[in-house]
Structure formats: C-alpha cells, structure tokens
Amino acid sequence: MSLDDVRRYLIAYDISDDVRRTNVAKKLESYGDRVQYSVFIVDTCPAKLLRLRTQLIDLIDQGTDSILFCNLGTLRDNQSRTLDVIGRSRTITDHGPAIL
C-alpha cells in the first residue's frame, strides 16, 4: 500500500445526546487523532473508511445527528501541507499507510 492509497479526512460531528456523542468520539479515536472537541483527523484507505462509516451509522440517530467527512487528499499530498491553527493545537500522529 502506498501513500497514494491513503487519504486524509477531517471528520466532524454534531450530536446532542451525550451517550451517542461519547460512543462516536471513542470510535473516531480508534481510527485517528482528535484535533478539536468534535473534530478528528483520520488517515485511511477506502476500505477502512467504508468500515468506519458503517460503524458510525450504527452509532448515531440519523434523524438528529450529523457527521461530516471532508476529504483532504492523499497522504502524499498532505506531507507538504500542514493544518493552520490559531491558539492551542493538538498533535496529529503519523499513522503511515493503513494496513488491513
């Protein structure tokens, strides 16, 4: 698997229920890094992203909750870019290529 197979996603959620919000946060923490209270960075291949989406769908109420996926491009593209943060920033770990 090459860096071109792995894409970086910014994932944010809006969930009002504490239990569902906590479960979604725990699931996203197992895939990536929390960069804000409800915003994560996840580096993953298409198959692993599909698995994550399926797991998140099972955790939320689709009538009231929402989860936003923003594709930031390939991991290779992101090596030359950084996220710009004002104030306290959090570390994004270098996960490298995802292995299934």
Is 84 annotated in a binding site? The answer is no
Q: Report the alpha-carbon distance of residue 20 to residue 34 in Å, rounded.
A: 17
CB neighbour list of residue 8: distance below 8 Å, 6 or more residues apart: 41, 42, 43, 71, 72, 73, 74, 75, 78
> Which residue ranges are tagged as binding site for Mg(2+)?
14
> Which residue ranges are tagged as binding site?
14
